[in-house]
């Protein structure tokens, strides 16, 4: 069955540290890839997405992600995190034959210390 795996359950960083959150998926066909963020008490918000083209995509708030097809990965990065980046981050995959539904990873909780 198709799945999405996020390697880190909880990441703790100090402000200005660099961030990389791992995401791998298992599916051999065409995929669309997403990263969502959920700030405490708020709804899921789209950070960035990859559909096709340049595998390095830039999103909001200084986040970027790189799609590496050979590794089935879509890792999220930010050069310098801020306290306000404290949130839950979800990687999601939309398969090309599943009518638009998203398969989510288990999420990574990011805590940034001021």
Partner 1 sequence: GAVVSQHPSWVICKSGTSVKIECRSLDFQATTMFWYRQFPKQSLMLMATSNEGSKATYEQGVEKDKFLINHASLTLSTLTVTSAHPEDSSFYICSAAGGGQPQHFGDGTRLSIL
Question: Which residues contribute to the site for partner 1 (CB under 8 A)?
Answer: 4, 9, 36, 42-46, 49, 90, 99-107, 109
Which two structure tokens, joined as six digits, stand for 10?
A: 């909880």
Q: Angle 88-35-72 (CA atoms, 0-180°, nearest 5)?
A: 120
- The residue among 1 and 114 lying less far from partner 1, judged by its C-beta, is 1
Report the nearest approach of partner 1 to the CB of residue 70 (Å). 25
2 or 80: whose CB is closer to partner 1? 2
> Which whole-number Å values give the CA distances from 52 to 18, 28, 40, 96, in the listed order?
26, 15, 31, 12
For residue 91, the minimal CB distance to partner 1 (Å) is 9
Q: Which is nearer to partner 1, 42 or 80 (CB)?
A: 42
Distance between CA atoms of residues 64 and 114, nearest Å: 22
CA angle 78, 55, 69 (to 5 degrees): 110
Measured between alpha carbons, how far is 33 from 80 in angstroms, rounded to an integer?
Answer: 23
Q: Which is nearer to partner 1, 82 or 106 (CB)?
A: 106
Q: Please state the closest distance from residue 100 (CB atom) to partner 1, in A.
A: 6
Name the minimum Å distance from CB 18 to partner 1.
25
């Amino acid at each position: 069955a198709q799945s999405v795996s996020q390697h880190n359950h909880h990441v703790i960083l100090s402000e200005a540290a660099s961030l990389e959150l791992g995401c791998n998926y298992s599916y051999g066909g065409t995929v669309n890839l997403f990263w969502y963020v959920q700030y405490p008490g708020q709804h899921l918000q789209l950070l960035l997405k990859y559909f096709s083209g340049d595998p390095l995509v830039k999103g909001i708030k200084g986040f970027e992600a790189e799609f590496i097809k050979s590794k089935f990965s879509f890792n999220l990065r930010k050069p310098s995190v801020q306290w306000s980046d404290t949130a839950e981050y979800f990687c999601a995959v939309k398969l090309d034959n599943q009518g638009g539904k998203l398969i989510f990873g288990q999420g990574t909780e990011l805590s940034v210390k001021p």
